[in-house]
Amino acid sequence: MWKGRDVISIRDFKKEDIEHVLKTAERLERELKDEGALKYAGGKILATLFFEPSTRTRLSFESAMHRLGGSVIGFSEASSTSVKKGESLRDTIKTVEQYSDVIVIRHPEEGAARLAAEVADIPVINAGDGSNQHPTQTLLDLYTIKRTFGRIDGLKIGLLGDLKYGRTVHSLSEALTHYDVELYLISPELLRMPKHIVEELRDKGVKIYETSDLESVIPELDVLYATRIQKERFPDEQEYLKVKGSYVITLDLLKNAKESLKIMHPLPRVDEIHPSVDASKHAIYFRQVFSGVPVRMALLGLTLGVVE
Amino acid sequence: MSELKVTAIKEGTVIDHIPAGKGLKVIQILKLDKLNGGALLLAANVHSKKLGKKDIVKIEGRFLSEEEVNKIALIAPSATVNIVREYKVAEKFQVEIPSEIVGILRCANPNCVSNHEYTTPKFYVISKEPLKVRCHYCERTMEEKEILANL
Ligand SMILES: Nc1ncnc2c1ncn2[C@@H]1O[C@H](COP(=O)(O)OP(=O)(O)OP(=O)(O)O)[C@@H](O)[C@H]1O
Ligand SMILES: [Mg+2]
Ligand SMILES: [Zn+2]
């Protein structure tokens, strides 16, 4: 059922699909630790097509494929390819699938991964299509929460920062509707979560609290998921600086937090989290980075049909 | 029956029960301004028992494809299509918004892959009233105003 399947949008995932990926990732993480290199994807080739640069996502997919015993071909920016000569995405995909067994694509246009999946006979995994979807980020976020707390149900999760434009928080909150969680939406007035998303979340039974006051909700939270606030979103510099200052996570701010509060961030960060927080028991954002590998191993293995 | 007398056609299509004000839009999207010689009649702001006021479009010598009927459904969900033969209504049906809209609508998102690559645009209807669709490719939603502008 997983063999040959595409991973395009978190919308396509039922709860049991998410759970299966998380379980498989956990198993592979354990096997990797016990046995070192794995051999599941021996002889298989992953093509990474990055029409737009990305360090983390591309490296972790490549690392995942190598850890599974497979190999990798691809490019990391469109300027070095025939796309520059005007080749269509369709033709690029049709060509690359002759060389590989699975494709990972990042592309600046929304819907590019969906189109690639329609064109290709081999599985396609979306590593980001414009401002639309980045499903493997969401899955690794869920995996990080699950590995840390042993569960997702029952948690109080704060989403912080740019909730209006942030693709990561939109997908994550959508995925969290499958679980019994309470969501604290913490953002400046200007960057609140779009109304239609809030309504959709409420319709699906998620308890939602919206606030702009980070400090006052800190004591409630089990997870604080921070995201970057971009300067471009603000009409003037002063407004930006004012807002930015009130959403920096410092050790001082965390004084009233639960012992068990965990802080996540999709990275790269600018100055949303003070570096002094890194060494605290609250910080799990580098562990979150690590999660990218087992989760992507699971997705590669499942879609290739080399793991169950 | 006076309305009928003035505008009777021998063969063709009558699109009835169009919400008042939408008749011209129906003519536009069916590209009826480039007609093949037959008469085109628009009765605007006609009294209607069901709608209060309605528009009617009558097209002589032309019948509609399924795609065209689906387009009408998006603009005028209340419309009925009457097929006229030998001056009589030979067939009548109510238009219906399909659950998937294929090929007849462009995506309003300029950065959508469907506006850059060879694709058949496709949308899922997530609400009929008010009309709201989601692009199969970029997953953005469009509401009535944007939909009408992109037919
Ligand atoms: N030969 C014709 N030429 C032009 N228009 C016609 C012709 N025959 C019927 N129509 C028009 O087609 C529409 C449907 O005709 P019909 O006789 O079924 O009316 P109706 O009983 O009021 O139908 P409905 O229940 O759909 O309102 C009316 O607007 C009518 O004026
Ligand atoms: Mg009538
Ligand atoms: Zn689109």
Chain A residues in contact with B136 (beta carbon < 8 A): 111, 114
Write down which residue in B70, B94, B118 finishes a domain.
B94
Bridge partners (DSSP) listed for residue B54: B19, B46
Looking at the structure, tell me whether residues B109 and B78 fall in a common domain.
Answer: no
Domain of B88?
12-94
CB-based burial label for B48 (10 Å; 0-12, 13-18, 19+): middle
> What are the tokens at B56?
């009617």
Percentage of chain A lying above the pLDDT 70 cut: 99
- Would the CB atoms of B119 and A110 count as touching at under 8 Å? no
* Paired sense of beta strands B40-48 and A223-226, if any: unpaired
Cα distance between residue A116 and residue A130, in whole Å: 14
What is the residue-wise DSSP string for A174-192? HHHTTS--EEEEE--GGGP
Q: Spot the catalytic one: A56, A204, A242, A281.
A: A56
Query: Chain A neighbours among B 87-116 (CB < 8 Å)?
Result: 109, 111-114, 116
Ligand 2 centroid–CA B33 distance in Å is 25
Q: Are A213 and A185 spatial neighbours (Cβ–Cβ below 8 Å)?
A: no
Q: Are A46 and A68 spatial neighbours (Cβ–Cβ below 8 Å)?
A: no
Could you report the per-residue pLDDT of B20-46, keeping only the tens digit for each?
999 999 999 898 877 667 889 999 999
Q: Are A101 and A71 spatial neighbours (Cβ–Cβ below 8 Å)?
A: no
Looking at the structure, tell me whether residues B105 and B78 fall in a common domain.
Answer: no
Looking at the structure, tell me whether residues B53 and B127 fall in a common domain.
Answer: no
Looking at the structure, tell me whether residues B78 and B108 fall in a common domain.
Answer: no
* Closest in B118, B136, B140 to A90, CB measured: B118
Q: Could you give the count of Cα atoms lying within 13 Å of A117 in the half-sphere of its Cβ?
A: 21
Q: Spot the catalytic one: A24, A44, A48, A57.
A: A57
- DSSP code at position A7: B
3-state SS assignment for residue A58 = helix
Q: What is the mean pLDDT of chain B?
A: 92
Looking at the structure, tell me whether residues B85 and B104 fall in a common domain.
Answer: no
Res. B3: pLDDT tops 60: no
> What are the tokens at B131?
């009309």
Is A106 catalytic? The answer is yes
The model's confidence at residue B1, banded by pLDDT at 50, 70 and 90, is: very low
Mean per-residue pLDDT for A270-296? 96
Residues 6 or more apart in contact with residue A298 via CB below 8 angstroms: A21, A22, A24, A25, A28, A307
Residues 6 or more apart in contact with residue A71 via CB below 8 angstroms: A44, A45, A46, A65
The model's confidence at residue A244, banded by pLDDT at 50, 70 and 90, is: confident
Least confident of A37-46, A116-125, A228-237, B118-127: A228-237
In a domain, B4, yes or no: no
Looking at the structure, tell me whether residues B19 and B68 fall in a common domain.
Answer: yes
Write down which residue in B53, B69, B94 finishes a domain.
B94
* B139 Cα to chain A: minimum distance (Å): 7
Atom of ligand 1 nearest to the CA of B10: 1
In a domain, B2, yes or no: no
* B140 Cα to chain A: minimum distance (Å): 8
One-letter amino acid identity for B45?
Answer: N
**Residue B111 maps to which CATH number?**
2.30.30.20
- DSSP code at position A43: T
Q: What is the largest CA-CA distance in chain B?
A: 52
Looking at the structure, tell me whether residues B46 and B117 fall in a common domain.
Answer: no
Whether ipTM tops 0.95, in short, is: no
B139 close to A (CB below 8 A): yes
Provide the number of structural domains found in chain B.
2
C-alpha B105: how far from its chain's center? 12
Looking at the structure, tell me whether residues B128 and B90 fall in a common domain.
Answer: no
